[in-house]
Amino acid sequence: MITLHGYTASGNCHKPRLLLEQLGRAYRWVDVDSPNGATRTPAFLALNPNGKVPVLVRGDGAVLTESNAMLVWLAEGSPFLPADAWQRAQALSWLFFEQYSHEPYVAVARFIRGWTPLDAPRRAELPALLERGHQALAVMERHLSRTPWFTGEAYGIADIALFAYTGVAHHGGFDLSAYPAIGDWLARVRATPGFRAMPDPAPANAALIEASP
Ligand SMILES: N[C@@H](CCC(=O)N[C@@H](CS)C(=O)NCC(=O)O)C(=O)O
């Protein structure tokens, strides 16, 4: 049995959870209140010295960190990971894009708006994060205007990785109305078998998002 340690409203944590749901695999979920320091305790740091969720623990106790590495491992041998070496590399290319060119802007803007006070100095970062996030969204829009899924004809782990924070990009202040291909793709992802939506942020975080300029 796999155990997933995660924060429910985190896109990174929802990625492996969504794939486990869609694979129909049993797993145990352990809630970790990462915004309130639960990833920095000695017990948690013994699990992941990098102090971040998600953390996947295999039945034999072996530990895997990094959400996109979990997607690759969990999807092995399933239709969610292309069998062809070139197509697999394309999937990895989108996973690296997500972590380097998308998540640091789209997810971090969401975090700042929903998880920091309205007068937090970090809010000064938002204009630059929005600019860089829109650059990533434009790359996705261009790709999705030519192909239904990130790795071609089939839904897979690249779609799951990029869906996680694009699906809640409005929390970060991103208006997706200028990206019709992304809008259609988000609807296709939500209609895939076994899809499970990420839980909403807690009321206090939702209120901060709502109140953010
Ligand atoms: N690259 C990592 C990022 C993980 C990450 O940023 N986790 C955040 C929650 S979304 C976290 O645990 N933050 C708490 C902390 O840094 O103390 C992944 O994809 O798994």
- Confidence at residue 111, expressed as pLDDT on a 0 to 100 scale: 98
Computed over every residue of the chain, the mean pLDDT equals 97
Q: What is the mean pLDDT of residues 185-199?
A: 98
Q: Residue 100 carries which DSSP code?
A: I
CB of 141 closer than 6 A to ligand 1? no
Report pLDDT digits (tens) over 5-24. Answer: 999 999 999 999 999 999 99
User: Do 2-75 and 85-211 agree at the fold level?
Assistant: no
Scan for tokens 């590399």, then name that residue. 89
**Phi, psi (deg, nearest 5) at residue 167:** -65, -20
Q: Which amino acid is at 104?
A: P
Distance 145 CA to ligand 1 centre (A): 31
Confidence of residue 60 (pLDDT cuts 50, 70, 90): very high
Distance 49 CA to ligand 1 centre (A): 12
CB of 66 closer than 6 A to ligand 1? yes
| Closest atom of ligand 1 to CA, residue 68 | 19
Euclidean distance between CA atoms 26 and 68, whole angstroms: 19
Report pLDDT digits (tens) over 153-172. Answer: 899 999 999 999 999 999 99
User: What is 2-75's CATH number, 3.40.50.720, 3.30.70.270, 3.40.30.10, 3.40.50.300?
Assistant: 3.40.30.10
Distance 52 CA to ligand 1 centre (A): 4
Report pLDDT digits (tens) over 67-107. Answer: 999 999 999 999 999 999 999 999 999 999 999 999 999 99
Is-contact 129 109, C-beta < 8 A? yes
pTM here is 0.97
Confidence of residue 152 (pLDDT cuts 50, 70, 90): confident
Domain ranges of the chain: 2-75, 85-211
User: What is 85-211's CATH number, 1.20.1050.10, 3.40.50.1980, 1.10.40.50, 3.30.2130.30?
Assistant: 1.20.1050.10
- Confidence at residue 49, expressed as pLDDT on a 0 to 100 scale: 98
CA count, 13 A, side-chain hemisphere, 76: 5
| Closest atom of ligand 1 to CA, residue 35 | 14
